[in-house]
Amino acid sequence: MTSVDEESSPETVQAPSITTPRSLTRSEIGNLTLALLAWACTVSNVTLVVGTSGVILIDIGGATNLTSLPLGTFFFGASLVSWCVTPWLFVQWGRQYGFFLGIALGMVGTVLGMVCIAVQSPAWLVVAMIFFGMAMGVGFFLRFAAVEVVPPHWQARAVTLVVSGGVIAAFAGPESAQGMKDAFGKEYMGVFVMTGIFNLANALCIGLLSFPQPKQPPPLKEEESNNNNLTEDEESARQLELQQKQEDRVAFAALLRSRQFLVPMLVASLTWAAMSMPMSIVRVVMGQVGYTARQSLTTIELHFVGMYAPGFISGSLISQYGPPWMIVVGIVVFGVAVIFNFVAQDESDQEHGLALWILGLFWIGVGWNFCFTSATIWTTALYKQQPRLQPQVQAAND
């Protein structure tokens, strides 16, 4: 009787258990840290070559009105590799070997950059920037790989924490460029030597990082009988594979036309353009209006801090408010930055003008962080229901 009463008693009915999100394991923390450091090495090379390419072009005999050309070829290289290589690279080679290829492309850029300084050739600089852009196009997939080394509830924070590794690059890149530019007899040769050092450090981090095995497509149904008609089975498997590829093509084409893909892709593209244009010419422009190399270097460093420091909080904000709202916030911040930049150009007092330059470039970086990180997280949500489309979606977005 007692047992019956206990079974029917409401006190004994267990409430549904609520699973508390677990903390990261030691292995996951290690992988996330290595991804952050690899990202820092990748971005250090970006800050090195993008921040100095215009100045180097003029120094080796290029025309002043062509200072934006190296940046254009840099982004051409990034777009080229993202469209032609990365869709199949990580699927067939895996994350680790894929990132090694990106580092190898960066080493080609290092060699060509050293050649351009040795022979004083702007043309070789332009070619070198293509390879640096290709290296970035591969290396920036680290932000997607970050979500693969942590549990789902950590993914937004993982992206922003890895991207925040750029805070290291904000100073490591420009300061190493300034410190090494005269170290090898010819001015700016040390800049490209440093890109090689960062590439080697990047390779070490990637080599130590344990990436999860890529998800394989669902296995075909096993034979229900033990007949040995292998030819029929192979033909059936081929038909199923062709059917799956056709379905993937249709789904991918539909996704490319969807607002859920187009909006974050356009946001990422426009914010890159809005951020990179002033970044690429600010040191040249500030030098032309009378600021010292140290002042322009500090300005570009704080711009990079603005790009990556918000990563320590933007992940939580994106998780709480969602990518669309954080993109709106980023656009507002861009507007504030534009005001600072316009006022800075008309400021005759150099002390006040320097503060305005710094504030303008800093807030451009913050606006980029909010918009670009939100667009990245928004994009990762698109292929959760169709993981087979992950490489194509990531490459099309980049």
Domains of the chain listed by start with CATH number: 25-213+259-397 (1.20.1250.20)
C-alpha to C-alpha distance for 377 and 318, rounded to whole angstroms: 8
User: Would you state the pLDDT for residue 20?
Assistant: 61
C-alpha dihedral sign at 385, 388, 392, 395: positive
Q: Residue 346: what pLDDT?
A: 65
Please state, in angstroms and rounded to a whole number, the distance separating the CA atoms of residues 344 and 341: 5
Q: Residue 52: exposed, middle, or buried by beta-carbon count in 10 A (0-12, 13-18, 19+)?
A: buried
- Averaged pLDDT, groups of 10, the chain, 398 residues long: 46 49 81 91 89 86 84 89 80 88 96 94 94 93 83 79 84 82 79 94 94 60 46 66 69 75 86 81 81 86 89 83 92 92 71 86 93 85 69 66
Q: What is the pTM of this model?
A: 0.73
Predicted local distance difference test score (pLDDT) of residue 129: 95
310: exposed, middle or buried (Cβ count in 10 Å: 0-12, 13-18, 19+): buried
pLDDT at 224: 42
Helix 26-59 / helix 259-288 crossing angle, nearest 10 deg: 50
Return d(Cα 52, Cα 280) in angstroms, integer. Answer: 8
Query: What per-residue confidence (pLDDT) applies to 394?
Result: 67
Question: Could you say which DSSP state residue 65 is in?
Answer: G
